[in-house]
Amino acid sequence: MKRLAIYCGSATPADTTYIDAAREIGRTLAERGIGVVYGGGRLGLMGAIADSALEAGGEVIGVIPQALVDAEVAHRGLTELHVVDGMHTRKAKFTTLADGFVTIPGGTGTMDELWEALSWAQLGYHTDPVGLLNTAGYYDHLIAFWDKMAEVGFLRPQHRDLLIVADTLDVLLDRMAAHVPTQPIIRMNASDL
């Protein structure tokens, strides 16, 4: 993995656990020679990842919609900053620039990015690993929901392992490196669906 798309919040929660984790992630990725592709913002966890990766000598590529540039939240000190027309274009650009996806704590925008990466993997639009870093148990309920989808039958058994989960970055990166793509929906027979 040469570059990872990092999905995370633009907020700075009162609990410093999350911002500290974001800084450690940026630094660790840079030290491992893995470039960061992210939302291009300077605020919250986004800014913390970008700044710490840059301080450690890493590559940081931002992808941000023009509307957010106009709102003055763009990070202007990145390796590259791609300004796009909207959120759909932004997510497609993440997919072309990165070799995998890591979701850390965030809100609705972060969830939108995670679910699209998973949906596209399930359909077969990409074969890259999709990781979820469960910092401080933040995603415990989402992981339980993923399991519930599988239990009920809305998540096919062959797609159960598309979401790669770990509590630490090192373990997550190791699991992502070992990722083997599954049979996507576009390569299934109708009778298998």
Per-residue pLDDT of 17-53, as tens digits, reads 999 999 999 999 999 999 999 999 999 999 999 999 9
Which range of residues forms the domain containing residue 103?
Answer: 3-192
Per-residue pLDDT of 150-176, as tens digits, reads 999 999 988 999 999 999 999 999 999
* Residues 102 and 5: beta-carbon distance below 8 Å: yes
DSSP string, 52-76: HHHHTT--EEEEEEHHHHHTT-B-S
Q: Per the structure, how many domains does the chain have?
A: 1
Q: What Rg value do the Cα atoms of the chain yield, rounded?
A: 16
How are strands ordered across the β-sheet holding 60-65? 80-84, 60-65, 35-38, 3-7, 101-103, 130-133, 163-166
For residue 67, give the CATH number of its domain: 3.40.50.450
What b/e string do you get for 121-152 counting C-beta neighbours within 10 Å, with b at 16 or more? bbeebbebbbbbbbbeebbeebeeebeeebee
pLDDT band at 181 (very low <50, low <70, confident <90, very high): confident
Instruction: Give the CA angle between residues 105, 116, 85 to the nearest 5°.
Output: 95
Token pair of 127 as six digits: 């074969």
Specify the pLDDT at position 185. 67
pLDDT band at 188 (very low <50, low <70, confident <90, very high): low
